[in-house]
Amino acid sequence: MKASELAQMSLKDLRALRDRVDVAIAEREKSDRADVKAKLADIAAKAGFSVGELFGSGRGGKRGAAEVKYRNPKDPTQTWTGRGRRPDWLNEAGGDIERFRI
């Protein structure tokens, strides 16, 4: 479509065109993504692997919710999963953290 054709279109028509283009882009992305996944799965299978083995679970590297492993006996609302920075209440208690394990 030429710029001169766009200039002659009404605002309503331009917005409708934009909406149609957005839908077409989304559909093309979905189709292209499916094609690439199929090709990768085929290449992996030929090499004796699954896509999950090569690239992980597909969760984008994010971990799921972790189970609570430690609890402060003085304030049971204070817990820690063992992931990330150790909480202040656990650092202040000192000693072996296994005594706080649930």
Q: Report pLDDT digits (tens) over 19-47.
A: 999 999 999 999 999 999 999 999 999 99
Is 102 in contact with 68 (CB distance < 8 Å)?
yes
Domain ranges of the chain: 3-55, 70-100
Residue 89 makes CB contacts below 8 A (sequence gap 6+) with 72, 74, 75, 78
- pLDDT digits over 53-92, tens only? 888 766 665 667 889 999 999 898 999 999 889 999 999 9
Among 57, 59, 100, CA closest to 82: 100
Please determine, for residue 102, whether its predicted confidence score (pLDDT) is greater than 80: yes
Rounded to 5 degrees, what are φ and ψ at 75?
-145, 95
pTM over 0.75: no
Residue 64's SS3 state is coil
